Amino acid sequence: MNINMKNIDDNDRNILKALQRDASPSLENLAAQLSLSTNACWRRIKRMEADGIIARRVAIVDPEAVGLRMTVFVAVRTSDHSDKWLEKFAAAASSVEEVVEFYRMAGEVDYLLKLLVRDVADYDRVYKKLIKAVPLSDVSASFAMERIKYETAVPV
Amino acid sequence: MNINMKNIDDNDRNILKALQRDASPSLENLAAQLSLSTNACWRRIKRMEADGIIARRVAIVDPEAVGLRMTVFVAVRTSDHSDKWLEKFAAAASSVEEVVEFYRMAGEVDYLLKLLVRDVADYDRVYKKLIKAVPLSDVSASFAMERIKYETAVPV
DNA sequence: AATGAAATTATGAAACA
DNA sequence: TGTTTCATAATTTCATT
């Protein structure tokens, strides 16, 4: 079992489900919905925040509404598997705000990046920014035509 | 230019940057930070909510903290490119809460799914649930070993 | 010790200048 | 557009079990 894993009960789970869907309703409303007292609910939320289960509260911006019409998945293969190289690559890629997700993978592909860009020209700009920071040889991009589902809620 | 795209100015952009990072501070705090009056700030936020730029406010749960240690990318190739098949597949995959993202792709792969699961056994369970709903022949899974960056904020 | 009711403080929403 | 007012919600305290 994961060292970071925290125990939560059904009430916690229900709170998380609700807050992951919509964090805007008042405590009173939320508590009433879940048949909890306002305070019980409040204390559970505070505990889960302290435990790092609830990492943060954010506003979700619709990418289309601000002209970000393209999601690109960039698969990177490298011959250099040293910690030093990864450190440099991780720092460079993470600092690029268009790189919204970044994973170290098992199997054929070594790293997978998810980019959010305006169009193909914008992708090219970000790509150049990336390879300028860290030389990359084996890079392949896959373009998403349509975002059918995007969910920040994790299954609890 | 995208039909859905809305015009925003620098103040809007600053508000979005801040709220995407952390939506918990009070209006007063946020406004002070950006050298705006509380009300100007409030009105801008309300407008952006009405325009669909700010889609919603949510709590972000740390997947590790609830035992979801594995991100899996599932690439699907299909021979059936009819609307009817896509409709069925989209409905089935979207209804699975472990499928957190789902894209229609250009190129070799037809669809890309991002799954959040506990472990390999859990992946197998979700995979079976998926192919039970819609028969899939050409499926390949890539496992993420480490999540280096995960950002809900889009570049504005 | 844990829980819920109630008082207090802070914040959001609206009217108005 | 900024200032003031009012309503609502978050937080703390306290009594009860």
Query: Is any atom of nucleic acid chain C found less than 7 Å from the CB of residue B102?
Result: no
pLDDT average per 10 residues of sequence, chain B (156 residues): 79 96 94 92 95 97 96 94 91 97 96 97 96 90 96 97
- Res B58: pLDDT: 98
Do A148 and B102 make contact, defined as CB atoms within 8 angstroms?
Answer: yes
Interface of B with A in 108-127 (CB under 8 A): 108-109, 111-112, 116
SS (H, E, C) A79-141: CCCCHHHHHHHHHHHHCCCCEEEEEEECCCCCEEEEEEECCHHHHHHHHHHHHHHCCCCEEEE
CATH number for region A63-143: 3.30.70.920
Among candidates B69, B76, B50, B60, which has minimal Cα distance to B24?
B60
Do B90 and A130 contact (CB within 8 A), yes or no?
Answer: no
- Res A107: pLDDT: 93
Measuring alpha carbon to C1', the residue closest to nucleotide C14 is: B39
Residues of A in contact with B8 (CB under 8 A): 66
CATH of B9-50, one of 3.90.550.10, 1.10.10.10, 2.130.10.10, 3.40.50.2000: 1.10.10.10
> What are A73's two structure tokens?
């998945």
Q: Where in chain A is the domain with CATH 3.30.70.920?
A: 63-143
In angstroms, the separation between the Cα of residue B2 and the nearest Cα of chain A is 7
Beta-carbon contacts of residue A36 (< 8 Å; ≥ 6 apart): A11, A44
| Rounded Cα–Cα distance for residues A48 and A50 (Å) | 5
Query: Is any atom of nucleic acid chain D found less than 7 Å from the CB of residue A11?
Result: no
In angstroms, the separation between the Cα of residue B17 and the nearest Cα of chain A is 9
Interface of B with A in 24-63 (CB under 8 A): 24, 51-63
Do A65 and B99 make contact, defined as CB atoms within 8 angstroms?
Answer: no
- Res A3: pLDDT: 66
Strand D positions closer than 7 A to protein CB: 1-4, 8-13
Helix (H) or strand (E) holding B81: none
Q: Where in chain B is the domain with CATH 1.10.10.10?
A: 9-50
Q: Which residue from B103, B144, B145 is facing A144, i.e. has the nearest CB? A: B103
- Res B2: pLDDT: 65
| Rounded Cα–Cα distance for residues B127 and B92 (Å) | 12
- Res B1: pLDDT: 58
Do A38 and A27 contact (CB within 8 A), yes or no?
Answer: yes
In angstroms, the separation between the Cα of residue A29 and the nearest Cα of chain B is 16
Q: What one-letter code names the amino acid at A128?
A: K
Query: Is any atom of nucleic acid chain D found less than 7 Å from the CB of residue B105?
Result: no
Do B142 and A107 contact (CB within 8 A), yes or no?
Answer: yes
> For A15 and C3, how far is CA from C1' in angstroms?
18
- Res B7: pLDDT: 87
| Rounded Cα–Cα distance for residues B54 and B48 (Å) | 6
- Res B39: pLDDT: 93
- Residues 20-39 of chain B within 7 A of strand D, judged by CB, are 36-39
Tens of each residue's pLDDT in chain A, 156 residues: 566 788 899 999 999 999 999 999 999 999 999 999 999 999 999 999 999 999 999 999 999 999 999 999 999 999 888 899 999 999 999 999 999 999 999 999 999 999 999 999 999 999 999 999 888 889 999 999 999 999 999 999
Query: Is any atom of nucleic acid chain D found less than 7 Å from the CB of residue A42?
Result: yes
Query: Is any atom of nucleic acid chain C found less than 7 Å from the CB of residue B38?
Result: yes
